[in-house]
Amino acid sequence: MTFRVKRVYEPAEAADGVRVLVDRLWARGLKKSEAKLYAWMKDVAPSTPLRLWYGHEPKRFTEFRRRYAAELKGNAAFDELRKLGRGQVVTLLYGSRELKLNHAVVLQSLLLRKPRRP
């Protein structure tokens, strides 16, 4: 499985493979035709209360990461995204200006983990 992370505002490239927007809100100023998306998976994004609580405050990132991972447990969209990544490159697109402390980076790390057996 290969999951890449990229800002949705960056131009699409062949190396992106399957492009999936993983934000709950549409990226400001971006036309849907320009995004070249395979899918927009809102349900894999952090909940609105969690997103608002985090507010891109670096000191809250560790706790945000923990809470977001908890939200994704049993999330059907997360499982679907993991399946999509089998045998192909999937680029997780996000709109945040923050390049390292954002939900797409957390999502990528969780998708790359081996799933636990029940």
pTM of the prediction? 0.92
Quick check: 42 and 59 in contact, CB under 8 A? no
Q: What amino acid is encoded at 3 in this protein? A: F
Q: What is the pLDDT of residues 60-115, one digit of tens each?
A: 999 999 999 999 999 999 999 999 999 999 999 999 999 999 999 999 999 998 76
Q: What is the pLDDT of residues 14-67, one digit of tens each?
A: 999 999 999 999 999 999 888 999 999 999 999 999 999 999 999 999 999 999
For the CA atoms of 10, 12, 17, 21, what is the dihedral angle to 10 degrees? 50
Q: How far apart are alpha carbons 19 and 17 in whole angstroms?
A: 6
Buried b (16+ CB within 10 A) or exposed e, 82-107: bebbeeeebbbbbbbeeeebbbbbbb
For the CA atoms of 18, 67, 51, 90, what is the dihedral angle to 10 degrees? -10
Residue spans per domain, the chain: 2-112
Beta bridge partners of 37: none
